[in-house]
Structure 1
Amino acid sequence: MSIRRLPEHLVNRIAAGEVVERPASALKELVENAIDAGAATILIRLSEGGIAGIEVIDDGCGMSPPDMALALERHATSKLPDDAIDAVETLGFRGEALPSIASVARLTIESRARGAEGWRRTVDNGQLIEEGPAALPPGTRIKVESLFARVPARQKFLRSPRAEFGACMDVVKRLAMARPEIGFTLEHDGRRSLAVQPESQAARVAALTDRELVRNSVAIDHLRGEVRLGGVAGLPTFSRGVADHQFLFVNGRPVKDRLLIGSVRAAYQDLLARDRHPIVALFVDLPTSEVDVNVHPAKTEVRFREPALVRGLIVGGLRAALDAAGHRSAQPVSAGALGAWQQSPFPLGVPGRSGSQPDLNSPGGYSPGAGLGWGSLRPVPNYPAYSPASPNPSLEAEGLQGSVWDRVTAFALPSGRASPAHETPSPQHPLGIARGQIANTYIVAEASDGLVLVDQHAAHERLVLERMRRAMADGGVKTQALLLPEVVELEETACDRLETRAPELAEMGLELERFGPRAMLIRAVPALLGQSEVQGLVTDLADELAAYDEALSLRERLDHVAATMACHGSVRAGRTLSVPEMNALLREMEVTPHSGQCNHGRPTWIKLAHTDIEKLFGRK
């Protein structure tokens, strides 16, 4: 068959297939045109998810009748003042998408430039059917009707109106997030679904994701060379089960880029559980010469000249912002959580009920199981803190002797100055003063603004991990040789993995040797872990390497190994702590990065504000 030139209407439909896949694609092009026209407010109306109708009204610069005619021709644009297509600074090319949309739908454009008369043109599936004067304020109104009505092959692949509306809503949210200085309104089948006014970037992100993000996020402002990273990032404990709240922008353009998504995952990789995803809105700004925005017809993907620089900027910027968050943790108190606090079902002193009447003259004022709802709340006296028999030489070598960590042993937390039982909480101690312990697992502390509960194992686990990282950054973790080396029996493949990574493990203080085909010999452990259960530690490390060794970089593998070691070396639930030990833990948490969540992404502490406590007792 000889080569032939395709007819104009077929060329337009092929172009439409590249740009207009569904109603959301057409809506994206129309809203981007409105933004590029300098609009301050944009109104969007949808019918049946955009399948039956899409209308976009803006108060931008408008178009003259001749420009309107050119806008409906292919490859006509006002967005390229010269031929430098690689230096485009707008979201798209006005006129590029309009003829494609007009070739598969009925499209009506009404526009008026300031100081001129309005004009209207209607094109039905590629054919001009009407034009003439139009009465409207300065700006542009574009209406798309019956999308793909005459293209059955495309129409049958459209989803339900509800699903198409969801895709349209996602498009509007991303564009509205990119331009917080513009007001957006979205109506669907006569009902207002979204309305935002011009506001700050952080406020716009919170308005379009979760209002609680304002107090559960950190601001990002990081510069490396000519590349700047801004935006907001949710605290690790303020996360979601799916990655639907991750918004990425390059030079104000919403994109979905694997490099950027992978960078976000790397930044949070040791702060979140594997099934949780952070809430982030990141804005990367760089010279147009350093990024190619024309690698995708819809411009939803970009290509960076130096991808490693951008990845490092995102990971470094996110980590720096999260490090600065210190001990902060998301603290939402839901109605369901408050409802779990119940009054005792039995009044005090019910005859025949064992333990129903507490002995108020007892040393603690009450006894466990007294029916007060707390169950095993145990006030702890100020007995002397645990102290090892002799100083730890490895800690002295690290210059830590005398600090709150100078008494870390296998099962003891650091000791500190004993806090009198009558000490008054102050704002200088946001995690409060220790008052007792629940079930030998949770620390009860009184803060100046409420009640704090701390998971002692989760909190200490994070503190040990951060200390290991500091030691590694300073030249390596100090080791403690075992008096009698221990033998751990494993599968041969597990031993092979551990033997391969032995130099990396040695950097973190764990010295292993191969001991036959199916065993490993443990000669030394990190000094800060004390006499933890080393056999379980090595077994878990072998499992970690099997699951993640190939997929992660060296730095990420080291973080996983350090987290596993920290878990084995931290104080366990069920350990009785003295008041000085509890207070030392609280003070260390207040000055340690990421102490608001454990190594698995779970919160280490929660706070019940005074107002919430008052609600429990019906005072509010």
Structure 2
Amino acid sequence: MNVELRHCVDVVQQYALIHCNVSFKLTHNKRVLLQVPKTTNTFANIVAIYRRPVARQLIAVNYSVPGIEIMGFISRPSFTRAARDLQTIFVSGRPVKNQLIIRAVYKGYANLLMTGRHPFVLLNVRVVPEHLDVNVHPAKREVKFEQEDHIYKAVLEAVKSTLTEQAEIPDVAAPGKRNVSKDASKDSYKDASRSTAKTPLVPYAPSYGKDSYKAGAGIKPLLVRDRGEQYEKTQISHKKEFVMDRQEMLDNGESASPGLPQSSSGRLPRMRIIGQLLKTYILAETDSALILIDQHAAQERVLFERFMEQYKDAAMTVQQLITPIPLEVSPDEVVAIEENLEFFSRLGFGLEEYGTHTFLLRTTPQMLGIPFTRELFMDILSELKTAEKSTTPALQKEERIILKACKAAIKANQELTLPEMNKLIAELGACMYPFSCPHGRPTIIRMTQYELEKKFKRVV
């Protein structure tokens, strides 16, 4: 029943987003899951469904070329999710799944999104009926365009030009504080949200020339200056900081680490720490090799195994938040949270219902050791929704959610002291699978004395 209920919520939610001239109400077991009144524009419906924290991050899209009209909203590059659950595509008012349009959207965001992050997308692409085939699939969820190349280019340009026009330096604001920028004006939302049903589309004679969509048009990549001169100066002025006598390195390593004891799993060799490279790698040596440890991958492995162990033993240590974090969520997210309250509790997330579409986050896993934010929890929720749609075994869901939480807890470019490096290596050695992070990347590599001498041409 849960799967069917979520499907119902998704369908009603999609139609409520596009048909602002109709009121929608969805109830289940006498409880109202979704209620959207009749409004004058799509943005008001977005606020009603996705709530204000999401709506504040959106930019209106209003773009047209002969025969194609694209309207809706996309998010600023700074607002993304770990999954694609905030993406809805309509073609002439019909909700569809279309990879051509999605690919064009991501191309428009080129170089602006972090790997694995996904923007909010709500677009209605209108084309003349003669150039559209809706009978591709019995459920009418797939469509085929007569000239896909022109649709792709139009969507790409719509996203690119919108992001270029609205580009701005993000403000540093207190959490929850609303920043009203020029794109958040009422007029822009009304323009992008108006019903396009009354506006006839003129059949187009494609006029896209070679110069219509020039490579690199719109958002320009940042220019990287030649840093050779700067590097030379840095190398000279900081020479003492980087060059250290070998005996001094060994003495420092010995003083903090007289030689690591064999790990409890017996998988890591004894090694002496030399130091840290680029605030990312730990350098160490054995009697016959140089050891490099990716500290971020190692921390992720340690946290993941510890988190999984506490989850399976139902012994998660939690920390009480002094100020609970309010979470305003959409109707389908309400369903997802309510169905997984026990699961979240086992993970250390204490949630309490606070109103129709709001929950209070009162506790978080203590072992993460990071300030918890609304954005992090929403990423975890997105990951949960994605995991539950997969056909993988049940345990996969827990692993994916825990992995997402652990990854967020890792601090990039973190400077470590020798005792901290010692501790991390000892903890890694105690792991069941110490040689790779949960994603499969190696945590540790070795370069033998022979390989080093071969690099310096001392041996053939």
* Greater per-residue helix proportion: 2
User: Using CA pairs below 8 Å that are at least 6 residues apart, which structure has the higher relative contact order?
Assistant: 2
TM-score of the pair, normalised by structure 2 = 0.43
Which is higher, the Rg of structure 1 or of structure 2? 1
